[in-house]
Structure 1
Amino acid sequence: MPDTNAAAQPATWRIVLAAILDFLTAFFILGYIVASIFGGRTDDGFKLNGLPALLLFVLIIAYFLVFNRYLGGTIWKRILRASRG
């Protein structure tokens, strides 16, 4: 008897790819914003140390928590249709 619930679950590669792309997207976008506010922009992008780097870390965690809990999945999970359930 085939498992009908397995067809509703997204492929593992979609979930992993979405997580990687979400992290990179959050890191570069939020990093650039934090660097713009705290003066960490460089010619090559941005460089964060100390409190701005900690703030970026907290914002990346908040991105994953807020999007997954309240908005039905992160940006790349929705694009790749990798949200469970």
Structure 2
Amino acid sequence: MKDDISTPNSTRAIAHWRIILAAILDFLTAFFVIGYSVARVSGDTTDDGFKLNGMPALVMFALIVAYFWIGRKYLGGTLWQRLLKAR
């Protein structure tokens, strides 16, 4: 019997470097984009970027968790997982 790799039910192993790189890039992207967005709304922007304390920081971390959860559960992967085909 011959194993056919091109069958739809076969799974290909994903390189670990892609998974790790996607996780790092996703966190950095989410941190800076969501962090800056929350800082803009809350008025915590500075000349160097943003500085969050208290409730805006908690909102930022909650949105980062939501980004990963929604991306993984409902969208088939986060931004970088999809770009790097790490999912």
Report the TM-score, using the length of structure 2 for normalisation: 0.87
Larger radius of gyration: 2
Please provide the CA RMSD for this pair: 1.8
What residue is the counterpart of 2:36 in the other structure?
A: 32
- Structure ranking higher in helix proportion: 1
Amino acid at match of 1:72: G
Measure how far apart 1:77 and its partner are. Answer: 0.4
Matched AA of 1:29: V
Structure 1 residue runs of 4 or more that deviate by more than 2 Å after TM superposition: 4-7
SS in 2 for 1:48: coil
Residue deviations 1:44-69, cap 9 Å, x none? 00000000000000000000000000
User: Shift in Å at residue 37 of structure 1?
Assistant: 0.5
CA distance in structure 1 between the partners assigned to 2:14 and 2:66 by the alignment: 24
Across the two proteins, how many residue pairs are aligned to each other?
81
TM-score (norm 1): 0.89
- What is the aligned counterpart of 1:14 among 15, 18, 32? 18
- Percent of matched pairs sharing the same residue: 61
How far did residue 7 of structure 1 move?
Answer: 6.4
Q: Does 1:59 align with 2:63?
A: yes
Higher relative contact order (CA 8 A, sep 6+): 1
Unaligned segments of structure 1, at least 5 residues: none
Q: Structure 2 unaligned segments of length 5 or more: list them.
A: none
